[in-house]
A and B are shown apart, each in its own frame.
Chain A
Amino acid sequence: MSTGTVKRHRNVFIISFIVPTFLFFCVFTIYPVLQALYYSLFDWSGMSETKDFVGLGNFTEMFNDPIVWRAIGNDYFLVAGKVIGIMIIATFFAVALTRFKFRMAGFFRSIFFIPNVISVVVIGVLWNFIYNPQIGFLNGFLSLFTESKVDITWLGFPQHTIWMLLPPSIWAGIGFYMILMIAAIQNIPASYYEAANIEGAGQWTQFRRITVPLIWEQMKVSILNIMMTTLNGSFVIVWIMTEGGPDNTTQVMGSYLYQMAFRQYHFGFGAAIGVLILALSLITTVVLQRLMRHESVELS
């Protein structure tokens, strides 16, 4: 066989894998994105046969809508809160379960992973119960220490109710990233730690000088993933727990998209929010990658 034929065979082989995948990607990702872009240029109720072309009208309206700005703020608040919360706790658990070997490690690993197996809907309902002011767990627990019954409306503050959505979001996310960190830490050769021990480095120094630099790639991926899943998926937890309320204080972009497109019959406006989510996700990804780029250390 000539080198040309080999090359051709190889190409056919590669193409036979790429083309179907690319086709599916086009049909299920590119096409909907283009459709959303297209709809965002129209004033359309979502049920009418006619659509009115409004150009960038939906976008101008969107940027003049204070709720959109609040939703963006809430989304980034969740991103920041989740990145900090999940990364600190997941890394702590991962280090605890790998570096400080103790008997129940396997058991705890499973326990911490459980929230990841539960559907977000169930998590939302569960935490709704925890936060219930009358019959909820949290107020019931706090009431043990006070004379009068505690009746804090955890999801009904006039402002900052979005803070209350952080604990369930973090709680639900820890397990997965913990497993990711555990896998990364287990890849670090034990000799590094032994050498460090001999040199007299304590646990904290070992963590700072060995563990973190060597799992930085995984941390980076985790941070990016948390950011993206939050911007695109914070809708679920918000919709289950507060539907963006009270008085739009917990609105995120996804929930406002749903509200406008399907409850208030502004499908074009909803599509415009969808485009905004896409744009912000892309920009944030690029920015975060830039910020974290120079700090990766290769395991050599």
Chain B
Amino acid sequence: MRFNKKITALTMALLLVILTLAACGGGSNKEASNSPSGSAQSSAPASQPASPSGSGDTATKLTGDFEIQYFVGGFGDKWWKKVIADFQAANPDLKIKQSAGPKINDQNKPRWIGGNPPDFVYIDGAGINDRQMVEDDLLEDLTDWIKTAKNIDGELITDLLAQPPQQYDGKTFNIPLVLNSWGVFWDKKLFADKGWTEPTDFNSFMEVSEKIKADGVTPFIHTGKYPYYINGAILFPAIVAANNNDYSILQDMAANKVEAFEKPAVLTALNKIVQMRDKGFIDKASIQINHTDSQMLFLQHKDAFIPNGLWLPNEMSKDIPEGFDFGFIPSITHDAGGKVVANTSTATVAVAKKGKNKEAAKAFLQFIFSKAQASQWAELSGAPSNIKGDISSSNAPNFVKDAAKYLTDANTVVVPTITYNADVDKAMMDATDALTIKTITPEEWVKRVTDVVKKASK
């Protein structure tokens, strides 16, 4: 019996040692991957660094490995494959590696944690957040570079951007690649058949909704499971409109400034949602359904309006009934005669701070932000690109061309993409949901959200 105990004790001791060693092993692995020589994928940086100002000097030869991480979602990967092939052709000595897929953000996470990230990253999809990456110090500071960076055609990149990059304490870390807009959709054909007027502002929206309701159709559906749809397409444009079309209020909200949330514009905007709710325009089903279900109900004409992004027609392309003709307006909450507010939603690109071939990454930025890519992106991904360029002659879908027209119109306030603090964003979503089912008042919305802002900005 004593012998038994001894053996057990010995085994336990042995195991403890093994476990400790295993734990140490994990740590040393991490360290190893931190150092450039520790990983098989890393290699010496480009032997000939490009000019630091990024003047678009394409004569500089790029060599070494260059890794691009891109998420494959609603926009597909056709454009990425094409542009990477073109970039490879232009730089034959560069060894380009693509890390891509719908799960790439999660798959590559350990490498970002371990300090061995890819050189270039496209920030889109679940599991990746630009603001968080900036806070985690994972992205290269592009503030000075972007000021003078020219693309391969010798044009200043900042001149080509339809919307400027988001600023974090005055610094630039990521550049918007896609220009998408939130807004409200309807079916033009249904409206024509029923004799409903297409809305141009809040009043006309409320008037036609009254009529739609009287005709037995619910005017408005959204996805309560993902309330960022109604926030992005209704609430945020409404706040900007109520703030004399000055979108700096949203930027202040994103910078966790409590006073921005307490401005009267926020209450005015929330009260517009309350009006829609109290008139019974919001489909009761909204609160519990996901985006797909809400979109299906909209396509089945159970509801007349839906807040969504420009990707909607692409996303639902298989289920769109014959004759369905998408009408779109970026905002419905501005007053008659006021400007339309387009709250853009985008996906950005950035260079990893710990990337091993930053020169190639910057050269790739100079390559993709060119006019030729504007049409190519619109054609291959079905969404407007953030590069100013005439896409009217391209093969892009009609609603993309229409939206692009809206976004370049002088009568539209284009709100650059703003990423909120994740805690604040969640609090706003929950509060808006609660507001639509009457469990809180607009004042309580503000109170709730500012409480979270105060905590998050600590």
Contacts and interface: CB of A to CB of B under 8 A. Distances in A.
Contacts of B109: 46-47
A44 B224 CA distance: 30
Interface string A253-266: 00000010011110
Nearest to B11: A19
B284 A151 contact: yes
A88 interface: no
B285 A134 contact: yes
Interface stretch (A21-29, A98-106, A175-183, A272-280): A21-29
Contact of B284 (A15, A18, A133, A265): A133
Given A133-B284, A248-B430, A27 B439 contact: no
Contacts of A264: 422-423, 426
Contacts of B284: 133, 151, 153, 156
Nearest to A64: B455
A246 B422 CA distance: 18
Nearest to A136: B285
- Overall SS of chain B's interface: helix
A173 to B, nearest CB: 23
A153 B138 contact: no
A131 interface: yes
B225 A247 contact: no
Contacts, number: 111
Contacts of A19: 11, 15
B320 interface: no
B255 interface: no
B223 to A, nearest CB: 11
A47 B3 CA distance: 49
B287 interface: yes
A242 B285 contact: no
Nearest to B297: A134
B302 interface: yes
B307 interface: no
Contacts of B197: none
B132 A265 contact: yes
Contacts of B437: 156, 158, 246-247
A155 B289 CA distance: 9
Which one of B112, B129, B287 has the greatest number of beta carbons of chain A within 10 Å? B287
A154 interface: yes
Contacts of A153: 284-285, 287-288
7 contacts: A18-B11, A27-B22, A47-B132, A131-B288, A153-B285, A262-B127, A264-B422
Please provide the 10 A-B residue pairs with the shortest distance between their CB atoms, ordered closest to farther.
Answer: A156-B287, A48-B136, A155-B288, A156-B288, A133-B285, A158-B439, A264-B422, A247-B434, A134-B285, A247-B430
Interface of A: 7, 11, 15, 18-19, 22-23, 26-27, 30-31, 45-50, 131-135, 151, 153-156, 158, 242-243, 245-248, 259, 262-265
